[in-house]
């Protein structure tokens, strides 16, 4: 492996506070596309004697001036290397002093979109996690917090930064952020932008100006984002008692953005796909995601900004908590049951997958080489699950008390997971030493449940015996038992609930729980609400699953019973066994039930994806065969459609949503059920309904669903052309267009389709959304990406290597397409490994991609 990028291994155990105090920061920007000047004035004071002043800042900073208390230090005391600037203690005053630097940087050459860069003629920044060091020399670490004063000089009309505006005049803007913050929350935007605006009065009476800034012409697609912001602000006051703390709140949409969005203080910067939406261009899923990400970034104002992280090992302190909060918000805005089920689906698809392979790591890792590689499903989604378990264990009141204490005790702090657990211990009196393993240990526990029924004179006793075991993960061979909250209810033989939900607290490797005085043997509804992120294994037959699908009072457990039926059928079919009749029958009863919630019926009608089937097989120790899985799924879908054609057709015809489009939960649920029916029907109607729908639907949700069916039937060409003619100049729609083709194509064609699309002039590969659209589309075609001849691996590796030269974060992130390689057959493993090795051997490979591929190869 080439070692031209220096190793940068960081360890949690090595944490030391910074030896200086930073009292305030003043920045001045003279913006010019290829030569921006940045002056930084840092008021510092030593906290230790004889400490050298080490500032982060790499080769991209051209140092023009350096002064300490107005005078240039002796050059003999100043040292620069690849990543830092060091001023020896000998050149520093013993007491408070002022450091001034002036640097020149080149935003136009910044293709990594980290630091200050240009996106479609507009200047913007991305500083989390370590982007600020590409702007100026600075202690770029989250535990150094201070107030910022920022002056921006530019002829561009809109000049924004954090905090409150101090002065706005042509060519100059000044901002002051009174809340101490770390550098990763700094932001600057300058461009030709327009805003749609509103006002919000906080409950203590602060008047806040709200703006969503977009490019001229996009205003009519920004309204939903603005409404979502107002809802978020109100919700955080109502539910967490958290108020906003500045006079303005700005959101800016940019087209080139590595992630979803960023919570910079008072100036959130968003990937435009998470701001812009209209019925013609965005799907129901897009609307829901916009609402939740707007909320997520807003909620960071307290969980992330007012209380930040001591170091990047603590990332899940802000992310797990903020995801948990945005999940609660969406549950309150929409349907709690549907939200929980979709969150679990996403957790399994991304986090369980991560936990099962070579990239497994704990929610709080204790080492990393490149922190950008740890913005993962484990840190975010599992981090949120861990908080959900805490809340289950301490109860709603305990949770509220702990959170109040957290905000009270740690406002203004850079905190740790230990601080977080301590507020729960202090507020509730509970010992959380064992619970902490959820933060420090990787891997998904396997929970096995055995039932013992003891018939007695007066009824009987049910004993539930649980065993937990967590398979080894990289660097963690042995896993001690964890506390697992297992929510259980009992259903009587007639379908009535006889024991409401009770939370069993499992703390040992094996543990039994008794339910006494039961009349007749009940059916156990286990892990209700998915009360812990574990894989539950139990001996259960299809009839019992169908019974739970019909009668369980817990919506998650009820859905899970159906899911389990589907997965047991599909894993069997994929291994050449017969099966699935029980599932087909049970679904028939469910969809005939007109009284059932359309959203719930839609969720049950969607078959598990191929990736999920593969994950289930792998967890059972079976090598997944992608082609067999693809065939099995297609087969079961066809059988469902044939068995229930009339019912499905009835649903399709009736679930039309009358009137103007609205993205609300009820309307979206009807559309979801309608297109779930369409998806099945199109397996047997040749795609005729889909063709009509594509031509007549006024909303993108139904059009994309129709297009999916048409492509699957091999008759998507016309519709694709129409979409391109209509929306060729709309990036967000064209991203969908780029994704859907390789994703839905027959597996044998997917790579060729991706190859052809990659040659188009509008495959602007340096745009992260466009790159993700195409490569992610291919990776989303399970059997296509894992083609037996390795063509999917090679095509992907070629593009990752090319991307790595421009944007290492995106290359590293997309390399996770390979993370499941060890579970496949020897032929595929060999080809995937060859592709990984080829990447590892690339000259000039980034630290980001190198860390990812070496973890995957190890």
Of 772, 834, 848, which Cα lies nearest the Cα of 805?
848
Q: How far is CA 442 from the centre of its chain?
A: 18
User: How far, in Å, CA of 743 to CA of 814, rounded?
Assistant: 15
Comparing CB distances to Zn ion, the nearer of 305 and 322 is 322
Comparing CB distances to Zn ion, the nearer of 281 and 322 is 322
> Which residues inside 170-209 make contact with ligand PHE, applying CB under 6 A?
none
Q: Which partner in ligand PHE, Zn ion, none is near 261 (CB below 5 to 8 A by kind)?
A: ligand PHE
Comparing CB distances to ligand PHE, the nearer of 226 and 261 is 261
Q: How far is the CB of 61 from Zn ion (least distance, A)?
A: 28
Beta bridge partners of 11: 367
Q: How far is the CB of 262 from ligand PHE (least distance, A)?
A: 4
Q: How far is the CB of 360 from ligand PHE (least distance, A)?
A: 21
Site string for Zn ion, 287-326 (x = CB under 5 A): --------------------------------x--x----
Of 583, 596, 687, 599, which Cα lies nearest the Cα of 633?
583
Q: Which partner in ligand PHE, Zn ion, none is near 126 (CB below 5 to 8 A by kind)?
A: ligand PHE
Rg (CA), the chain: 28
Of 449, 517, 520, 521, which Cα lies nearest the Cα of 486?
449
Comparing CB distances to ligand PHE, the nearer of 128 and 218 is 128
Beta bridge partners of 832: none
Q: How far is the CB of 602 from Zn ion (least distance, A)?
A: 28
Of 209, 43, 226, 50, which Cα lies nearest the Cα of 139?
43
263 binds ligand PHE (CB under 6 A): yes
375 binds ligand PHE (CB under 6 A): yes
User: How far, in Å, CA of 133 to CA of 115, rounded?
Assistant: 7
Residue closest to ligand PHE (Cβ)? 259
> Which residues inside 554-573 make contact with Zn ion, applying CB under 5 A?
none
Active site residue 702: no
584 binds ligand PHE (CB under 6 A): no
User: How far, in Å, CA of 307 to CA of 180, rounded?
Assistant: 10
Written as one string, the DSSP assignment of 267-331 is EEEEEGGGT---TTT--HHHHHHHHHHHHHHHHTTTBTTTBEESSGGGHHHHHHHHHHHHHHHHH
Q: How many residues line the site for ligand PHE (CB under 6 A)?
A: 11
Residues 6+ apart with CB under 8 A from 65: 72, 100, 101, 102
379 binds ligand PHE (CB under 6 A): no
Q: How far is the CB of 176 from ligand PHE (least distance, A)?
A: 23
> Which residues inside 243-262 make contact with ligand PHE, applying CB under 6 A?
259, 261-262
Parallel, antiparallel or unpaired: strands 122-126 and 188-191 = antiparallel
User: How far, in Å, CA of 370 to CA of 748, rounded?
Assistant: 36
126 binds ligand PHE (CB under 6 A): yes
Comparing CB distances to Zn ion, the nearer of 126 and 322 is 322
566 binds ligand PHE (CB under 6 A): no
Comparing CB distances to Zn ion, the nearer of 250 and 322 is 322
Beta bridge partners of 454: 461
Parallel, antiparallel or unpaired: strands 267-271 and 248-254 = parallel
Q: Which of 177, 255, 284, 297 binds ligand PHE (CB under 6 A)?
A: 297
Q: How many residues line the site for Zn ion (CB under 5 A)?
A: 2
Of 556, 448, 442, which Cα lies nearest the Cα of 506?
448
Residue 216 dihedral angles phi and psi, to the nearest 5°:
-50, 135
User: How far, in Å, CA of 332 to CA of 822, rounded?
Assistant: 40
Q: Which partner in Zn ion, ligand PHE, none is near 795 (CB below 5 to 8 A by kind)?
A: none
Q: Which partner in ligand PHE, Zn ion, none is near 691 (CB below 5 to 8 A by kind)?
A: none
625 binds ligand PHE (CB under 6 A): no
User: How far, in Å, CA of 563 to CA of 607, rounded?
Assistant: 8
Of 773, 766, 855, which Cα lies nearest the Cα of 807?
766
Q: How far is the CB of 296 from Zn ion (least distance, A)?
A: 6
Comparing CB distances to Zn ion, the nearer of 296 and 670 is 296
Specify the 3-state DSSP secondary structure of 389.
helix
Comparing CB distances to ligand PHE, the nearer of 271 and 428 is 271
Written as one string, the DSSP assignment of 453-471 is EEEETTEEEEEEEEEEE--
Q: Which partner in ligand PHE, Zn ion, none is near 134 (CB below 5 to 8 A by kind)?
A: none
134 binds ligand PHE (CB under 6 A): no
Q: Which partner in Zn ion, ligand PHE, none is near 351 (CB below 5 to 8 A by kind)?
A: none
Q: How far is the CB of 731 from ligand PHE (least distance, A)?
A: 19
Comparing CB distances to ligand PHE, the nearer of 129 and 387 is 129
In this structure, the chain runs to a length of 858
Q: Of the residues 297, 354, 612, 702, which is catalytic?
A: 297
Q: How far is the CB of 811 from Zn ion (least distance, A)?
A: 22
Alpha-carbon torsion angle 657, 663, 668, 674, nearest 10 = 50
Comparing CB distances to ligand PHE, the nearer of 319 and 564 is 319
Q: How far is the CB of 302 from ligand PHE (least distance, A)?
A: 13
Q: How far is the CB of 718 from Zn ion (least distance, A)?
A: 41
354 binds ligand PHE (CB under 6 A): no
Task: Using CB under 5 A, list all residues that contact Zn ion.
Answer: 319, 322
Binding site for ligand PHE (CB under 6 A): 126, 128-129, 259, 261-263, 296-297, 319, 375
What are the catalytic residues?
297
């Amino acid at each position: 492996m080439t070692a031209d990028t220096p190793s940068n291994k960081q360890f949690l155990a090595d944490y030391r506070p910074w030896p200086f105090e930073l009292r305030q920061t003043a920045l001045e920007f003279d913006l010019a596309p290829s030569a921006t000047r940045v002056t930084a004035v840092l008021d510092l004071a030593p906290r230790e004697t004889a400490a050298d002043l080490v500032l982060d800042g790499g080769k991209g900073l051209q140092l023009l001036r350096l002064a300490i208390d107005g005078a240039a230090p002796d050059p003999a005391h100043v040292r620069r290397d690849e990543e830092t600037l060091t001023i020896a203690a000998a050149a520093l005053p013993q007491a408070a002093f002022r450091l001034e630097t002036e640097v020149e940087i080149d935003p136009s050459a910044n293709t990594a979109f980290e630091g200050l860069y240009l996106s479609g003629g507009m200047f913007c920044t991305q500083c989390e996690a370590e982007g600020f060091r590409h702007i100026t020399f600075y202690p770029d670490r989250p535990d150094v917090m201070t107030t910022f004063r920022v002056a921006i000089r530019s002829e561009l009309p809109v000049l924004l930064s954090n905090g409150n505006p101090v002065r706005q005049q042509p060519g100059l803007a000044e901002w002051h952020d009174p809340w101490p913050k770390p550098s990763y929350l700094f932001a600057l935007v300058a461009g030709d932008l327009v805003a749609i605006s509103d006002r919000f009065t906080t409950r203590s009476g602060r008047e806040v100006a709200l703006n969503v800034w977009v490019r001229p012409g996009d205003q009519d697609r920004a309204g939903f984002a603005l409404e979502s912001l107002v809802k978020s602000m109100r919700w955080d006051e109502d539910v967490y008692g958290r108020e906003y703390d500045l006079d303005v709140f700005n959101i800016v949409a940019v087209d080139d953005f590595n992630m979803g969005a960023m919570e910079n203080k008072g100036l959130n910067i968003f990937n435009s796909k998470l701001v812009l939406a209209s019925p013609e261009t965005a799907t129901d899923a897009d609307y829901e995601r916009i609402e939740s990400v707007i909320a997520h970034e807003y909620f960071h104002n307290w969980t992330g900004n007012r209380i930040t992280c001591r170091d990047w090992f603590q990332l899940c302190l802000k992310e797990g908590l903020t995801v948990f909060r945005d999940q609660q918000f969406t549950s309150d805005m929409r349907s709690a049951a549907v939200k929980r089920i979709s969150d679990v689906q996403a957790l399994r698809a991304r986090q369980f997958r991560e936990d099962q392979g070579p990239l497994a790591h704990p929610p709080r890792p204790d080492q990393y080489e490149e922190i950008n590689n740890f913005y993962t499903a484990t840190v975010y989604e599992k981090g949120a699950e861990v908080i959900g378990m805490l809340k289950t264990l301490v109860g709603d009141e305990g949770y509220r008390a702990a959170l109040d204490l957290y905000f009270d005790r740690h406002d203004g702090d850079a905190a740790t997971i230990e601080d977080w657990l301590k507020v729960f211990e202090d507020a509730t009196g509970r010992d959380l030493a064992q619970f902490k393993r959820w933060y420090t240990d990787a891997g998904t526990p396997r929970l096995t449940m055995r039932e013992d029924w003891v018939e007695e004179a007066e009824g009987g006793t049910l004993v539930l015996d649980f065993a937990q075991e967590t398979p080894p993960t990289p660097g963690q061979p042995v896993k001690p038992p964890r506390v697992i909250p297992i929510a259980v209810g009992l259903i009587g033989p007639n379908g009535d609930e006889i024991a409401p939900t009770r939370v069993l607290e499992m703390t040992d490797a094996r543990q039994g729980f008794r339910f006494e005085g039961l009349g007749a043997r009940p059916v156990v509804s286990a892990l209700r609400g998915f009360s812990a992120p574990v894989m539950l294994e139990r001996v259960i037959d299809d009839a019992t699953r169908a019974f739970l699908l019909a009668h369980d009072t817990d919506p998650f457990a009820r859905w899970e019973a159906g899911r389990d039926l589907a997965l047991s059928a599909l894993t069997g079919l994929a291994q050449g066994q017969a099966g699935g009749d029980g599932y087909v029958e049970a679904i028939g009863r469910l969809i005939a039930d007109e009284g059932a919630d359309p959203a719930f019926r839609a969720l049950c009608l969607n078959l598990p994806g191929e990736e999920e089937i593969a994950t289930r097989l792998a967890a059972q120790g079976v090598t997944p065969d992608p082609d067999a899985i693809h065939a099995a799924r297609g087969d079961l879908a066809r059988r469902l459609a044939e068995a229930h054609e009339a019912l499905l057709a009835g649903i399709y015809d009736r679930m039309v949503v009358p009137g103007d489009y609205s993205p609300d939960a009820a309307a979206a649920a009807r559309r979801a059920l309608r297109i779930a029916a369409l998806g099945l029907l199109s397996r047997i109607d040749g795609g005729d309904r889909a063709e009509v729908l594509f031509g007549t639907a006024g909303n993108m949700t139904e059009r994309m669903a129709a297009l999916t069916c048409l492509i699957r039937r091999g008759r998507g060409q016309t519709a694709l052309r129409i979409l391109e003619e209509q929306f060729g100049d709309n990036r967000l729609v064209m991203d969908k267009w780029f994704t859907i083709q390789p994703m839905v194509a027959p597996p044998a064609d997917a790579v060729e389709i991706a190859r052809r699309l990659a040659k188009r002039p509008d495959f602007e590969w340096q745009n992260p959304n466009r790159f993700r659209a195409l490569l992610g589309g291919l990776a989303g075609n399970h059997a296509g990406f894992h083609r037996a001849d390795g063509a999917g691996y090679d095509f992907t590796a070629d593009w990752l290597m090319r991307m790595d030269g421009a944007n290492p974060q995106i290359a590293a992130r997309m390399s996770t397409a390979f993370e499941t390689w060890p579970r496949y057959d020897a032929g595929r493993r060999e080809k995937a490994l060859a592709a990984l090795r080829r990447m590892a051997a690339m000259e000039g490979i980034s630290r980001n991609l190198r860390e990812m591929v070496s973890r995957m190869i190890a």
